[in-house]
Amino acid sequence: MQVILIQDVNNLGGANELVTVKNGYGRNYLIPKKLAVEANPSTLKQMEEKLKHLAKKEAKLLAEINNVIEVLKSGAVKVGAKTGTSGKIFGSVTAVQIARAIKEQKGYEIDRRRISILDEVKEIGTFKAKIDFGNGHETELEFEVIGE
C-alpha cells in the first residue's frame, strides 16, 4: 500500500513523502492517526502542488536571506558601550546589544539567539560575530565597539 505522509514519522519518512507500507500498518495506524493519507491520483496531484508551493516559498526565503547577508556585509555595525579611562568597557557587549544595533543601523530585526559572538568583548575595537539563519545559511558580521 502506498501512502503520502502528512507528518514526519520516525523510521518511515518525512512530511509530503510517498512511501510504501504494509496494508495493516497504513489502514490501522497511519491513516486513523492522521499521519498519512492513501495515495491515489488526486492526493498525488495535491502533493505535487504542495511541493511546488513549498519550493517557491523556499526560493523566496533564500532570496531574502541573501539580501540580508549582503546588507550586513556592507559595513561594520557600531555598538556603544560605557568605557573607563583605559579603553576597557564596563561589562561586555552582548548579542542583545548587537541585535539592537543591527535593527537601528541596518533596518533588519534579527533574533538575539541567532547571534553568537566569536571573541570576548571587553575593550574598544572591532570584533566579529556569527549570525545563523538556519538551514546552513550563516554569515559573519563585523561590529565595532565605540565608547559612549
Average pLDDT over every residue of 45-58: 92
Residue 60 is assigned to a structural domain of this protein: no
**CB-neighbour burial class of residue 19 (10 A; exposed 0-12, middle 13-18, buried 19+):** middle
pLDDT band at 106 (very low <50, low <70, confident <90, very high): confident
Is the pLDDT confidence value at 125 over 90? no
Domain coverage including residue 15: 2-54
C-alpha cell at 135: 538551514
Q: Do 119 and 52 form a contact (C-beta atoms < 8 A)? A: no
pLDDT band at 22 (very low <50, low <70, confident <90, very high): very high
Question: pLDDT for 66-96, tens place per residue?
Answer: 888 888 888 888 988 888 878 788 888 889 9
Whether 46 and 82 map to the same domain: the answer is no
Cα torsion angle, 68, 69, 74, 79, sign? positive
Which stretches of 1-145 are DSSP H helices? 23-25, 41-73, 95-105
Whether 141 and 85 map to the same domain: the answer is yes
Q: The domain that contains 82 carries what CATH number?
A: 3.10.430.100
pLDDT band at 42 (very low <50, low <70, confident <90, very high): very high
Whether 29 and 92 map to the same domain: the answer is no
Whether 81 and 143 map to the same domain: the answer is yes
